[in-house]
């Protein structure tokens, strides 16, 4: 059974510092991995999706890497801003899943202080 | 395009009562998902529809939870009777196919007294 873990559970950084968020998974047979952002009282917003054949994806200040063999992904957010304060979740889709089922981690709650 | 719509946003009920949630997915999206998110945890898939057929309900507590998707569009999730451990946010998501990214609604926050 796939287990997805995100450590730390919470993180506080001063504005301008780079953020590094970690995600690990136990079964390397994945189809893709996705990073989401969740603001309080809101649903999830997809940030980046990495296919199993890719090593990284970039969007603006966000960069996500994937090391499938070691079961790890890292989300980097450059030059953090107070608006980056949110909970960040990673989710994996299994390689044998035909219907797009996602297995989520519990998330890392990020606070960026001005 | 309009996003995934869910109602109500909040619901407070007493244990053993029943409750229903409604979801309207993005127009044209064939795949619809219901997730349960307990405080401090990631979302857990309860049920997934492809058009109006169920493709995964392995984690749905079928003795108390039920869901349907009318004509392959709107969906309702019902809990009857509710237990204290059902307190959570219920998220609906949709995608054009199971291969495409999921788009989430803002959820319904359920509190059981």
Give the DSSP per-residue string, A41-108. Answer: TS-EEEEEEEETT-SEEEETTEEEEEETTTTEEEEEESS--GGG-EEEEEEEEETT-SS--EEE---E
pLDDT for B98:
74
Q: What are A14's strand-pairing partners?
A: A113
Residue of B nearest to A88 (CA): B42
pLDDT for B83:
96
User: What's the pLDDT tens digit per position in B43-86?
Assistant: 999 999 998 899 999 999 999 999 999 888 999 999 999 999 99
pLDDT for residue A101 is more than 90: no
- DSSP letter for each residue of B16-78: T--EEEEEE--TT--EEEEEEE-TTS--EEEEEEETTEEEE-TTS-TTTEEEEEGGGS-EEEE
> B101 or B27: whose pLDDT is higher?
B27
pLDDT for residue A60 is more than 90: yes
Q: What mean pLDDT comes out for the span A33-62?
A: 94
pLDDT for A41:
86
Residue pair A75/A57 in contact (Cβ under 8 Å)? The answer is: no
pLDDT for B97:
81
Give residue B110's pLDDT band: very low, low, confident or very high (50, 70, 90): very high
Of A4, A100, A106, the CB nearest to B99: A100
Of A46, A89, A101, the CB nearest to B45: A101
Question: CB–CB of A99 and B48 under 8 A?
Answer: yes
Lowest mean pLDDT across A106-110, B1-5, B23-27, B105-109: B1-5
pLDDT for A33:
95
pLDDT for A99:
76
Is B52 in CB contact (< 8 Å) with chain A? no
Chain A and chain B share a number of CB contacts under 8 A equal to: 55
Residue of B nearest to A93 (CA): B99
pLDDT for B86:
97
Beta strand B75-79 with B65-69 is antiparallel
- What average pLDDT does chain A have? 94
Q: What mean pLDDT comes out for the span A78-102?
A: 92
The token duo for A98 is 């035909």
Q: What mean pLDDT comes out for the span B34-48?
A: 95
Instruction: Give the 3-state secondary structure of residue B5.
Output: strand
Closest approach of chain A CAs to the CA of B106, in angstroms?
A: 4
By a Cβ cutoff of 8 Å, what residues of chain A touch chain B? Answer: 4, 9, 34, 41-46, 49, 89, 91, 98-102, 104-107
């Amino acid at each position: 059974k796939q287990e997805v873990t995100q450590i730390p559970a919470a993180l506080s950084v001063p504005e301008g510092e780079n953020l590094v968020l970690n995600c690990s998974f136990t079964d390397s047979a994945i189809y893709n991995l996705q990073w989401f952002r969740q603001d309080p009282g809101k649903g999830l917003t997809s940030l980046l999706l990495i296919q199993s054949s890719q090593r990284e994806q970039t969007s603006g200040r966000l960069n996500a890497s994937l090391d499938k063999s070691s079961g790890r992904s890292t989300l980097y957010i450059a030059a953090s801003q107070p608006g980056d304060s949110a909970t960040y979740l990673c989710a994996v889709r299994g390689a044998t899943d035909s219907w797009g089922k996602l297995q989520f981690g519990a998330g890392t709650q990020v606070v960026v202080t001005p | 395009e309009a996003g995934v719509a869910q109602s109500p946003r909040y619901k407070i009920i007493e244990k053993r009562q029943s409750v229903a949630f409604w979801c309207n997915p993005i127009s044209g999206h064939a795949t619809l998902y219901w997730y349960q998110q307990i405080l401090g945890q990631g979302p857990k898939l309860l049920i997934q529809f492809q058009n109006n057929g169920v493709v995964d309900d392995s984690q749905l507590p079928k003795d108390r939870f039920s869901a349907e998707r009318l004509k392959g569009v709107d969906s309702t999730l019902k809990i009857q009777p509710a237990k204290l451990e059902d307190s959570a946010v219920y998220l609906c998501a949709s995608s054009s196919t199971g291969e495409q990214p999921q788009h989430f609604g803002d959820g319904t926050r359920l509190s059981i007294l």
